[in-house]
Amino acid sequence: MSKPKGFEKPTGFRDYTPHVVSKLRMIERNVLECMERWGYRQIITPTIEYYDTVGVASSTSDRKLFKLLNSRGTTLVLRSDLTAPIARVVSSMLKDEALPLRLSYHANVFRSIEEEAGREAEFFQTGVELVGDDSPEADAEVVALAIASLQAAGVSSFKIAMGHMGFLNGLLEEVIPGQTAEQEQLKEGLLGRDYVGYRQSIEALHLESKQKQQLEAILRLRGGKEICTHAGELSSSVEAAESIAHLCAVFEVLEAYGVSEHVLIDLTMIGDFSYYTGMTFEGYAAELGSPVCSGGRYDNLLQQFGRALPATGFALKTNRIIDGVHGISIEEKKPVRIEYSPERRAEALAEAARLRSLGQNVVTSLLDDKRPKAVASGTDAKQAEQVIIYGSKQGGQ
């Protein structure tokens, strides 16, 4: 393997230029302030966790985890999401706090990838976890907050697709009971949006006509509140009925929030089926075909850390918003430029300090005809809001 050149970096990682960082920080600040207004407190967890705890509990497949060894030979991982680390903290340091807990975060996460164009191994997530409430009100709250957060991030045109894991589980167990491998294959097709493959998997089961129709009908269960009725007619499973009742109760709460126009019910939406246990959702911006946020209910995660509590939450895919959504524009704030001669240095730097205390950006440079102009100026006059000169060059200030 050849030695990397000095300007190269590992595949999947990127540099953020000042303009992009400004946009990232504005989105981060706006969204976290939005979440704070909803009662969510920010939490920070380590970049590195133990593989045997957070790594195993994560929703990320094992092959996508960045693993490393410490000096004692213990396997560690770079965090691949924030939900599992927060579950660890909730089950330990926050175990005595009153429920429900409302926590927010903004952090970089890491997922190992194959070398494919456009795939990132490090990216940012901004999200929340609502722990200790299993009601439709809680699920509706995180969806409504996701909508508010997308708007705070500058995403003006989007749709939230909302489904429920329990409905699909109940339907599959009703139609092909006990056939775990076949059920997982069908779920894989829905998870990957491979509807051709999903139909092929149905054909391979050699079912009766009615059973085939039941499984194929789920592909048409996308729309508004009327889907609640259609879904109820599709399955007689108790689990499916309870799930659709919960989902439709969530939709009613979203109507009360006044945000239901952003939401459609999509019962092919199952999220990561090894992770989510109930309501799941994804948000799609008009400019992008891939989701800009995702979330749902994961009631089994915290018990892996010794505290069985229901939980729900979501994360914004901040990098996709930065790169693909044009809602937030950053206007560069030009600094004041102060140039000074050596004998007036103290006076000029005092003025710079005064202006900075008032919130003004200020750059300073020494007036010196012996220095190259590019070095002496520092900031070109066209890049400065105002130029102030302290020195004999132009007879003073």
pLDDT confidence of residue 19? 86
For residue 98, the 8-state DSSP code is P
Model confidence at 375, in pLDDT bands (50, 70, 90)?
Answer: very low
Query: Average pLDDT, whole number, for the chain?
Result: 88
Residue, of 384 and 294, whose pLDDT is higher: 294
Residue, of 383 and 294, whose pLDDT is higher: 294
Alpha-carbon torsion, ordered 70, 72, 75, 80, to 10 deg: -30
What is the DSSP pairing of strand 386-390 with strand 336-340? parallel
pLDDT confidence of residue 382? 62
pLDDT confidence of residue 371? 55
Task: Of 257-271, 339-353, 375-389, give the lowest mean pLDDT range.
Answer: 375-389
Average pLDDT over residues 335-345: 92
CB 318 within 8 A of CB 126: yes
CA distance 82 to 128: 9
- One-letter amino acid of 361: N
What is the DSSP pairing of strand 263-266 with strand 158-164? parallel
| pLDDT of 292 over the 90 cut | yes
Tens digit of pLDDT for each residue in 113-143?
A: 755 556 788 999 999 999 999 999 999 999 9
Average pLDDT over residues 76-93: 94
CA distance 339 to 118: 44
Task: Of 152-166, 171-185, 315-329, give the lowest mean pLDDT range.
Answer: 315-329
Model confidence at 39, in pLDDT bands (50, 70, 90)?
Answer: very high
CB 340 within 8 A of CB 390: yes
Is the overall model pTM greater than 0.85, yes or no? yes
Task: Identify which of 345, 321, 313, 315 has the alpha carbon closest to the alpha carbon of residue 129.
Answer: 313
| pLDDT of 350 over the 70 cut | yes
Model confidence at 149, in pLDDT bands (50, 70, 90)?
Answer: very high
Average pLDDT over residues 209-237: 89
